[in-house]
Chain A
Amino acid sequence: MKDTGVKLFLRAAIARAYPRIWGAHRELSWIFFEIIVPLINTSAFVFLYRALGAPEQYIGFVVLGGAMATYWLNVLWMMASQLYWDKQEGFLELFILSPVSLMAILLGMGVGGLYMSTIRAGAIAIIGTLLFNVQFNGDQWGFALLVFFVTMFALYGLGMMLSSVFLMWGREAWQVSLALTEPVFFLSGMNFPLSKLFTTVPGVVSLFSALIPVSLGLDALRQLLFPGQLQGVFSPAVELGIEAVLGIIFSVAAYLLLKRMEHLAKVEARLSLRWQ
C-alpha cells in the first residue's frame, strides 16, 4: 500500500530533507567554511566599528547580522541552485518521474537547509556573543521568535522561487548566485542598521531592499532584541506583516514557476536534454 495526497507529500518532504539533516553532519569541513569563515567576516566588522568608535550596540547588530547571513547564503547557494545541480546530476529526472509534487521536494530541501543553517547560525551567534560580550536585553523573545519564523518562511519561499527561476536559466545559475551574494549583503543591512540605508539611498533601492526577506526581518529582530537602541525602518509588527505577505507571494510564485518549468521541461525537452 502506497501513500497518496498529503501523506505522500509529507513523506517525500521528510525524505528530501534527510540528506541535508543527516548527510551534512558527515562532512565536518562545514565547521570551517560555514562557522569559522563567516565569524571572521563578522569579527572584521566588529573591529572596524570599535576602531571607528561606533556605539557598542552595533557589535550586537553585526553578530545578529552574521547569524542571519548564514540563512541567506544557504538559500542562495544550497536552495536556489539545488534544482539546477539536481538536473545536471540527473536527479531531477528521477524526482519528476516519481508521483510526488516538486513542491514537496523543494519543501524538504528548505526544511533540511533551515535545520542545517540554524545550527550554524546558532553557533555563530553564541560564539560571537561570548567573544564580543554582546548584551541582548530584549523582553519580547516570543515575538522575536515569531518574527524569525515568518522571516524564514519568506526567505525559504524566495529560495523555492529562485530554485525554479535558476532551473529555467540554468547555465547562468552559478554566476547569478555569485552576483547576488554581495549586493544582498549590502541591501539587507547585514552589517549595519537598515534605516541608515533607507535614509541614504534612492527609494527604488529601498524597495529592492524591502523585497529581500532578511532585510526587514533582521531589522525587526534587532529592534526586539536591542530595544531602544535602534531606529527601525518600520515597527516590528509592520515588518512582520510585510514578511508574511512576502512569504505567501514567494510560495505561490514558486508553485506557479515550478508548474511552468515542468511544462517547459516536457515540451522543450529542457529536462531531458542536459544541453538544452
Chain B
Amino acid sequence: MSVEVREQMTSTDNPMGRPVVAANNPLIAERDSHDTRPLAIKTINVSRVYKIRGQKNKNGETTKTLTALGGVDLEVYQGELFGLLGPNGAGKTTLIKILTTLLAPSGGLCYVDGLDVVKQADEARRRINMVSGGETSGYGILTVRENLWMFSQFYGVSNKDAQERITKMLKIVELEDKANARVSGLSTGQRQRMNFCRGFITDPRVVFLDEPTLGLDVNAARIVRNFTRDWMSEDPSRTVLLTTHYMAEADELCDRIAIIDHGAVLACDTPANLKRLLQKQPVFEINAGGLNDRSLDAMAHSPGVVRMTSEAAEGGSAYNLKFILEDEAAIGGVVSTLAAHNGNIISLQKNEPTLEDVFIKLVGRSLSQNEE
C-alpha cells in the first residue's frame, strides 16, 4: 500500500526539500534550569558523514559523501523511556550506533551514563546494551539458554547470576519451554524475544532498542512492550532509548519523543505536547473514489491545507485522504475541489490529532512512506 504526501511549501521547508531547523527551535522543549535530574544520554552537535567507497577523483580523494547526522543535540534523562521517530534514512540507527560505541561521530560529543562514548568506550560498554529488530539470533547450533549464557559471559556476569536471569527472563517473555531448544528451530518471533533477553541479561543501565518489535506478531510485540515497561519500573535509574516505526507504540511507551529527519531533530517533547502542536490545526480524514493524480494535486493545494497524505485503499479505486488544515473552514474548499474533479466522498470525519499527524506535519510524509 503506497502513501503519498502532497503539501504546500511552508516557511519551515527549503527548496531542496530538507527541513530547516532553527537554532532555537521552538518545537524542542528546553530543559528547565531548575531541573536537576541526571542525564543518561547527552549529545552535543553530533554529526556523521559517510564516505561512499568507489567514488574517488584522480587524487584518490572521496568525492561522494552522505550526511547521516547533521548536528544533533539530545538530552535523555535517567529513568526515561525516550523515543526516536523518523523515516528510513533519517539517521536514527546511525545515532544509536554512535551512542553504542560502534561508530565514531564525524563531529560533536556524545555521553552515555556520563561517559564519553569515544574516549571511554570500554567503560561505557559495560553499562549499555542494544537490541535491534530483525538481528541475527545467536548460533543456531546452540540452545536458547546456551546462547544467552554465552553473551552474558562477554559482560563478565557470573554463571550463577546468568542462569538465574536467563530463567527469569525466559519466563517473562514466555519462552521458558524453549530454553533447551536449538535456536535454529525457533520462529522469528521467538528469536526476537530471545534477542530481547540478550539485551537485558547483562543488567545494563542504558538500553538501546532499535525497532525491537519489527516483524513481531501482536502478542509478541505486547510481551516486549510490557517487559520494557516492567524492567524500567524495577529501577528508576534505568534508561531506554527506543526507535520504532509504530507510532502507537511510541505514543504508548515513551515519556518523550524526538522526531528526526535528514539527520536533524525537528521536534522533541512529550507525546501529549507534540500532539498539542496540532490543536489549532484540525485533522480530517476523507475516504473518496473517482480520484486521479490531478484531483489529488488540486486538493493538496486547496486554500488552508497544511499537509495532505493519500493512501490507496486496498483492492479498490478509493483513496484514504488525510488533511491537516489551518482551520476547520478549509474543509469546505477541499470538498468543493473534490466535487469539481468528479470525486465522490464515501466518508468524511474529523479526527483527534495523533503522533502520526504530528509526524506528517513536521516531516512532510508519513512514517510508512519510504523516501524517494
- A residues engaging B (CB < 8 A)? 1-4, 7-8, 11-12, 14-16, 18-19, 22-24, 26-27, 89-91, 93-100, 105, 265-269, 271-273, 276
Contacts and interface: CB of A to CB of B under 8 A. Distances in A.
Contacts of A15: 149-151, 153-154
Q: Which of A27, A95, A96, A97 has the most CB of B within 10 A?
A: A97
B60 interface: no
Contacts of A7: 156
Interface string B138-155: 110110001001110111
Given A18-B150, A99-B122, A99-B156, A272 B139 contact: no
A272 B146 contact: no
Contact of B136 (A18, A91, A96): A91
A11 B146 CA distance: 14
A99 B136 contact: no
Contacts of A272: 97, 102-103
B104 A2 contact: no
Contacts of A268: 51
20 contacts: A2-B156, A2-B158, A11-B156, A12-B153, A15-B149, A16-B150, A18-B150, A19-B142, A19-B146, A27-B141, A94-B154, A94-B198, A95-B154, A97-B128, A97-B130, A99-B155, A100-B155, A100-B156, A272-B97, A272-B102
A206 B314 CA distance: 71
Interface of B: 50-51, 53, 97, 100-104, 122-123, 125-126, 128-130, 132, 135-136, 138-139, 141-142, 146, 149-151, 153-158, 182, 198, 202
Contact of A3 (B123, B142, B158): B158
Nearest to B153: A15
Contact of A269 (B50, B101, B130): B50
Contacts of B149: 15
Contact of B102 (A1, A89, A93, A99): A93
B122 A89 contact: no
A19 B153 contact: no
Contacts of B101: 96-97, 266
Contacts of A265: 102
A27 B184 CA distance: 12
B369 to A, nearest CB: 23
A265 B100 CA distance: 13
Contacts of B50: 269, 273
A89 B140 CA distance: 11
Contact of A26 (B51, B128, B141, B150): B141
Task: Give the 9 A-B residue pairs with the shortest CB-CB distance, closest first.
Answer: A3-B156, A15-B153, A98-B154, A2-B156, A23-B141, A90-B136, A99-B125, A8-B156, A266-B104
Given A18-B150, A91-B136, A98 B158 contact: no
B150 A19 contact: yes
Contact of A14 (B123, B135, B153): B153
Contacts of A23: 139, 141-142, 146
Nearest to B129: A97
